Structures are given as structure tokens and as C-alpha cells.
Structure 1
Amino acid sequence: MENENYYDITIIGGGPVGIFAATYARMRQAKIQLIESLDQLGGQVSTLFPAKSLYDIPGFDSIKGDHLISNLLSQNNQFKPDIFLNETVQDIAKTDLGFVITTTKKKTYSRTIIIATGVGAFQPRKLAVENADKFENKQLRYFVKNLQDFRGKDIAIAGGGDSAVDWALEIQNIAKSVCLIHRRDRFRALENSIEQLKKTNTIFETPYLISGLNSENEKIKITLNKVKTDETKEIIVDFLLVNYGFVSDNKILKSWNLETAHNLIKVKTDMETSIPGIFAVGDIIDYPGRVNLIATGFGEAPIAINSAMNIIHPDIRQAAHSTQLIKNFPELN
């Protein structure tokens, strides 16, 4: 079936792993499409922590999230895959030639599929305080997209995990002041990160819960209640950043009849799911010993692509090195 609506491989999900999977698939000269439900590529890295420094990406002592995505897109653009944004996959149906993929915009046909949706659709856990919604996207933020918004400002950060502490480490370099609010004296974040933060001027407000929000001369007044006591205090800041984690939703996977465990897709060693021809990579999958790192997903992507190519072209020997693949693209040599 040779037409513009037919693909060798369809990649569902445009986070870091999905982007690299698309790049590698094109290096193998597969005709591919990448479908992403958001209006931009980059997944959680672009949406949740573009300004965060990442320390577990091979080849970089550290790299900001937005820089990582920029580099991945620059690499990807050399190979020109078909990319469709603001489009959600609603149904996958098996056919004799592969799969019919129905999205919110169209139907296409694909010989194989690679799912790289990460944790799926995600929303922040909201602050359960009366009138909190009145401050959202103003003085109250759930995402840190541009650090410069906080330059020279007084900032309060609520949360005790890695993301909240990472925000504090980044923002304290440019903010006038930073305080970290947590309901316990101990934090869930990496010990090294906590140790680094204690060496800064960050104020630790523990163990406190946020019990009220009010306006104060274009700023936000936060009422804190000390845990298990009647003691309260108030602080006034320019911005309150809340990171209580995120709620993800992968319910649509169940409608695709894939075998799952703990809401994750079970895969074999070649990244194939319980349905032949459908593969999965990244944080959406489960197998013994898997570690949730971007680097892990980067390794899984070529395995899935090569496994898919074995179905598409079983008679073609797999290229072993990138230099063998790039020779097929004279403009890059």
C-alpha cells in the first residue's frame, strides 16, 4: 500500500524518547510518522521542567531540559520525519497489512507501531486551598517554564520531592529570596540535592501546610499552619510554585487491549508488546530491572526500531553502526 497515508512505523508520543526513535527510524530509511497530542514536542521535559538541569544524560556534565529538546529536534530535523502535533490517537485496529490508526484528525495505515507516550496525559496535583484557582497562572504556578520570570523576586516553593528541590536550586541563583515549604522535616528528594540547597540562603519552612491564600499589593500572602499544632504564620511573596507531583492517565491503553502491569505496558526483550507489530519504549513500559531514566529510553528506541524493521524488511541485514546508516544520506557526509 504505497500512498501518503501509509507508513512503515508510527511513533505515538513526542517526548525525548519518541523524538530519538523517529530520528533513528529515519536513519534506517523507514517511512515514519510521529503523532503527539500536545502542541509541541518534548513531553514532560518541555512542559514541566524546561529550565531544570539534567545530570543523567550521557555526554553532558549537565544540560537544561529545553537545551536537550532543542538538540534532539536539531538532530531530528536532518532526517525530516512526518510530525503531527495537536493530534490524539483514539483507536488502533489490526489489519492483514498492519494497523489502521484513527486520530482526532484522520486515519492512517502503518505496518508497525511504537508507543512512546511516557506517563501519558498528565496534570499537576492542585493545591487544595479555597480560592487557589483565582491565583493560578498568576502568582500561583504549577510549572516553571521561564526562570527569568522569577529574577529579583521573592519566591515560595511548596513540595518535598526532587522537582521542588531542583526548582529551589535553580531559582535561588536569580531570585531575591526563596523559601521551601514542606509538611515534613525530611524530604523525599535526593540527599545530595538537599545538602546543596542547605548551603544556600534558602529558608526552610517545615513542617508546615498551606492553609490559606490572599492577595497583598499584587503579591500573594500565604498562611502556613504548623503540622499537628494550632500555630500559624504568614509569608508574602511574588510567586508561589507548587509541586505536589502529577497525576497521569493512560486509560486509553486499556482500550487497545495491550497486556499491562501496574498501568505500564509489558514488553519482551525486543520491546514488542503482547500484540505482534506493536512495540513500546520509555517510561510507559515495564520489564524486570528497568530504570526510569531518559537514557534508558534512548537505548530502548533503537531496539524497538530494529525489531520493527525486521518485520517490515526481514531480508535486510541490520546495520550495526551509525556510520553505516548515514552513508544513505549523502547530504550529511
Structure 2
Amino acid sequence: MKEEVFDITIVGAGPVGLYATYYAGLRDMRAKLIDALGQLGGQLTALYPEKYIYDVAGFPQILAKDLAQNLISQALQYNPEICLNEKIIKLERIEDEKILKLTSENGNVHFSKTVVLTLGIGAFVPRKLDIPDVQKLDGRGIHYIVKDKSIFKDKNILIVGGGDSAVDWALNLEGIAKNITLIHRRDIFKAHEDSLKKLFNSSVEVKTFYELKRVHGDEHVEGATIFDNRTGDETYLDVQHIILCLGFLANLEFIQNWGLEIDKNAIKVNSKMETNIPGVYAAGDIINYPGKLKLISTGFGEAAIAVNCAKNFIDPASKFFPGHSSDFVPKKFKSG
């Protein structure tokens, strides 16, 4: 085979994929990193670059875009090959050559001894509200993704949702926006306890059992009508921006024919992050196993396990335990 065969190919360049790429370099593996987006960082850069993240070890708080940049710098120090704007649509094992072949949507092929799938939630799109005025003003005051907090300066904002994203944006924009109202259709939130304490001690007006009924405005959002879902009573809010934090729809259809075992809309792995296909591992939000927590912090650990197992898979003489990072000196820090 004339094409270069890499030791390891990581599919998905979000935080977990970037850390896996770094760890592959640490284990002296020739690595390739592939992503369907045109930039590294995954959701950190594509969906919420301006949002603070609080639950990553070593950072009391850090902007998503800054965390992404740190991870990118860490991953690139071993000079992996980077392939962007490539959506992998096929994965197959060539048994007689004991390698894996990946085919992208644009027809490119990649060959690797091992593969680590760090696909996040797969192909993701925001969950949208089926309200005509919301659709009409999408991008003109209606936001599902926030990339620039400055547009909210001194504006009245309505945030819809009861998860971490809704609560985090309410806290992130306090002090930037003139006024913030957060509505949630019930009184139970799916957010970190500490964040909720901060929310209810903030200047944000929180209205539970309220939903969005209508958006007002021709060229841009000028107001919103919300209603109490217990009584039907309506309230008009003077707002210029509405942030809809309704979650994302995950789509794993593109991996259905790869031969992977799927469990609860995720790739099933064991404690070594092994899938049912030899040489194929997975880590991060794309996987499921007993006790799985979908957090960046746990994804980092899963990435390390997957890469160390991949190293041992292609070189059984190597140790599964890599030693401590202080035992290694990255190339960029070597003298002479």
C-alpha cells in the first residue's frame, strides 16, 4: 500500500480529540486528526467560544475559546497531521493488511493502525422552536449559538431554558446586558448546583413555569410574549435579543453502517475504551458504559486510556502504563 499508514487516527477535534492527539504524541505515535468542521476545537469554538467553563481541573474559570486554544497548542506540539472539512462516512477494517480504512464524504481515504473516535454528540444541530416569528427572526435577535458577547451590551435579553447553557449564559452576560430574564417551563433545572445558587443570588429575573409564545419585530427582535403554562396568563417583555438554550439534536446515522455496537444512541465501549471492532476505540460524549458521565473532565481521562490501549495494541511490547508526564520532554522543549 503506497498511502501512508498512521499509528493512530483521531476522528473529532473537540477537547477530547485534541487531548487524545497530544497523548498520542506523548506515546511517540504518528498521529492524524480529522474533523468535519473547518476549525479545531469542536463545540468549544463552534458553539460557545465566549462562554466560561468552570468544571475543568486547573481552571477556576476559563473561556471556551481559551481552553480550546490551550488544547490546540498542547496537541500540535508533536506535529500531528491535521485534516479539516472532512466528514468521515465510512470505517472498515482491511483484515489481510491489519489496518483500518476511513473514507470521507469528499472521497479522501485515510489508513491507520488504530482509530480513536471522539465525535462528541455526532452531527449536532440546535433544537429549535416551531414558532413562525422565531424562525423569521433567526439570526436577527434570535440566537441558538453565541459567539460574540459584545452584541448584548446594554440590551434587554430573554433566555429560554433550564439547563447548564441557559444558566451559564445568564451568569456570563450579567454585567454586560442591561437586563436579563430567564424563563423555564418548569421549576426543576438541569444545571450544576453551584451555578443555580449563583443564578438565584444574581440580578437575573428567573420566571419558572413560563414559556415563549410569540416574538415581536419586523427586521429585528423588539419584544416577546411569554405565558404561564399553569394559568395561561401572558406577559410582554421589552427585549432586543432572545437566546434559546433548548439543547441539541444528536445524529449518529452516519456511523450506523460502520459495524459498531450502539447503546443508548452512543458507541458501546468497555473499561479500556475498546469498541467491538479491533483497533477502534472511542472516548468522550460519543460513548456509553456503566457509570458514564458526559463531562469534558472525564473525556480527558477516557482519551488517555484509549490512546494507551491503542499503543499497546500496535506494539504489545510497550507498556500500557505510559509513566508520568514529567518523565517525558516534549520536542519543543528539548535543547540542541
TM-score by length of 1: 0.93
Distance in 2 between the 1:178 and 1:330 partners? 46
Paired residues of 1:93 and 1:100 also in contact (CA < 8 A): yes
The one of 285, 306, 315 equivalent to 1:283 is 285
Are 2:325 and 1:322 aligned?
A: yes
Count of residue pairs brought into register by the alignment: 331
Q: Which moved more, 1:271-280 or 1:228-237?
A: 228-237
Paired residues of 2:90 and 2:255 also in contact (CA < 8 A): no
> Partner of 1:209: helix, strand, or coil?
strand
Q: Which moved more, 1:174-183 or 1:220-229?
A: 220-229
Q: How far has the Cα of 1:47 moved from its partner?
A: 2.2
Paired AA for residue 266 in structure 1: K
Which residue matches 1:271?
A: 273
> Partner of 1:67: helix, strand, or coil?
helix
Partner deviation per Cα, 1:139-197 (whole Å, 9 max, x = no partner) = 10001212112111111101111210111011012111101122224433233322212
Distance in 2 between the 1:148 and 1:20 partners? 30
Q: How far has the Cα of 1:312 moved from its partner?
A: 1.9
Q: How far has the Cα of 1:311 moved from its partner?
A: 2.3
Distance in 1 between the 2:232 and 2:275 partners? 53
Which residue matches 1:43?
A: 42
Paired AA for residue 20 in structure 1: Y
> Partner of 2:217: helix, strand, or coil?
strand
Q: How far has the Cα of 1:331 moved from its partner?
A: 4.5
Paired AA for residue 248 in structure 1: A
**Coordinate RMSD, CA, aligned:** 1.9
Partner deviation per Cα, 1:65-108 (whole Å, 9 max, x = no partner) = 11110111111222111111111001112112211111123012
Seen in structure 2, the aligned counterparts of structure 1 residues 196 and 312 have a Cα distance that, compared at 3 Å, is same
Seen in structure 2, the aligned counterparts of structure 1 residues 7 and 185 have a Cα distance that, compared at 3 Å, is same
Which residue matches 2:115?
A: 113
Partner deviation per Cα, 1:185-239 (whole Å, 9 max, x = no partner) = 4433233322212222212233222111121784422111221334212112111
Distance in 2 between the 1:125 and 1:218 partners? 21
Paired AA for residue 90 in structure 1: I
TM-score by length of 2: 0.92
1:1-333, aligned counterparts within 5 Å? 1=1, 5-95=4-94, 96-97=96-97, 98-105=99-106, 106-215=108-217, 218-317=220-319, 319-326=322-329, 329=331, 331-332=333-334
Unmatched segments (≥5 aa) in structure 2? none
Distance in 2 between the 1:331 and 1:91 partners? 38
Paired AA for residue 135 in structure 1: L
> Partner of 1:283: helix, strand, or coil?
coil
Partner deviation per Cα, 1:226-258 (whole Å, 9 max, x = no partner) = 213342121121111001111111122221111
Distance in 2 between the 1:5 and 1:262 partners? 35
Q: Which moved more, 1:71-80 or 1:209-218?
A: 209-218
Paired residues of 2:10 and 2:115 also in contact (CA < 8 A): yes
Paired AA for residue 164 in structure 2: D
Seen in structure 2, the aligned counterparts of structure 1 residues 123 and 330 have a Cα distance that, compared at 3 Å, is closer
Distance in 2 between the 1:252 and 1:151 partners? 40
**Which segments of structure 1 move beyond 6 Å, counting only runs of 4 or more?**
none
